[in-house]
Chain A
Amino acid sequence: MEKRQIRLADGRYLIFYTFEGELSAPRPRSDVGENEGSGTAEREPEAEEERGV
């Protein structure tokens, strides 16, 4: 399990938990079509990476 903590624009923290090589949940049918494609968001979040707590 890996953690990556960032600070959001309003100062709150957000932590991404990732599980490399572990099973990810299959996408339900209702979500097919959402989040299609790759690429960066047009509005870059004002965030910076920090060492996690």
Chain B
Amino acid sequence: MSELRWNPLMGEWVATATHRQERTFLPPADFCPLCPTKPGGFPTEVPEPDYDIVVFENRFPSLKSDPPAPAVEGTELYPVRPGRGVCEVVLYTPHHHATLTDEPVEQIYKLVRVWTDRFSALDALPFVKYVFVFENKGEAIGVTLHHPHGQIYAYPFVPPRVLKELEQSSAHRERTGRCLVCDIMGEERRDGRRVVAENDSFVSFIPFFARYPYEVLVSSKRHLQALTDMEEGERRDLAAMLKTILVAYDKLFDLSFPYMMVLHQRPSDGGRYDHYHFHTEFYPPLRTANKLKYLAGSETGAGMFINDTLAEEKAAELRSRVAPVVWGGEKGKES
């Protein structure tokens, strides 16, 4: 059952998806549903013995393109609607024990192109208002399947956090005539203390206003709104920048670093969003090798984050772990 219930206190939708309670939870590698199906072996989601990158509809989706009727009747105060949308799983590699960090930059570049293709396809669906590309990595985040993968949610509305960014971007444009993320990026580059890495097309920094100790924002240098606006060189540079950040993360504590990675693009509702600026955000929960940044009362109940660290110091730590990205096994483009 999948439905959307309106929260009148916050002015936002909440999805109820009860079938997700039974979804596969941390299976052993031999029974990984995201690995290729070996000859004579356990039948997985992928009915072939090998693949490069695969995308499929989630077996336990939060939203469906043909959802059933809601389980409850809505009221004027509590509207309810079917949970209509699309939930896709993106398999980064057939290698079960790998992570996106381990993959060569060429594989990440392929992934960027797959994301672009999926964004284009889902963006065109009339009932989709926002396409959200993201990855949850690590048990600390709540991941239930280890095999390296991400997801794409196509929502029937613009989600709250993106709405807020859009409002802020619009207000800033009205006040100053300029793009907000362009100005944030400019200020970070001028200051320099929080910049982690830069290449021809992207800048990464721990923002001045970071909520997590190692939160990173990756901004395109060019003012664009979505993956589909990028040129091929920019897609390559995005892949290189993601590789740079992911490798630096793993080097911090010499462990496979958990994180949430999210792509913030323009909505898909046909509106004009030239005031908005494409960017990627990372929210890693670790604040030390063995301590987590928990979302407790102030963060969850009041929406106010408390960061126990200084962004400038954390950026210096991360920057010291940045290494050139190698294409094709030879020295090539550097981040």
Contact = CB atoms under 8 A, between A and B. Distances in A.
Given A1-B110, A53-B121, A41 B103 contact: no
Nearest to A18: B52
B258 interface: no
Contacts of A19: 52, 110
Nearest to A26: B104
Nearest to A24: B52
Please classify the interface of chain B as helix (H, G, I), strand (E, B), loop, or mixed, using the class held by over half of its residues: loop
Given A8-B47, A43-B43, A25 B37 contact: no
Contacts of B121: 53
A47 B43 CA distance: 13
Contacts of A6: 47
A23 B328 contact: yes
A28 B110 contact: no
B39 A42 contact: yes
| Chain B interface size range | 35 or more
Interface string B31-44: 00001111111010
Of B47, B51, B107, most buried by chain A (CB within 10 Å of CB) is B47
Given A28-B102, A40-B39, A14 B97 contact: no
B46 A38 contact: no
A16 B114 CA distance: 10
Interface in A11-53: 12-19, 22-28, 30-31, 34-35, 37-43, 45, 47, 53
A1 B117 contact: yes
Contacts of A14: 45-47, 54-57
Contact of A28 (B57, B97, B113): B97
Interface string B105-130: 01100100110010001000000000
Of A12, A17, A22, A41, most buried by chain B (CB within 10 Å of CB) is A17
B49 A22 contact: no
A39 B36 CA distance: 13
B37 A22 contact: no
Given A23-B328, A35-B50, A42 B40 contact: yes
Given A22-B106, A28-B102, A41 B41 contact: yes
29 contacts: A1-B110, A3-B117, A6-B47, A8-B45, A12-B59, A14-B54, A14-B55, A14-B57, A16-B48, A16-B54, A17-B54, A17-B110, A17-B117, A22-B106, A22-B110, A24-B52, A25-B98, A25-B103, A25-B104, A26-B104, A28-B102, A31-B97, A34-B35, A34-B96, A41-B40, A41-B47, A41-B48, A41-B49, A45-B37
Interface of A: 1, 3, 6, 8, 10, 12-19, 22-28, 30-31, 34-35, 37-43, 45, 47, 53
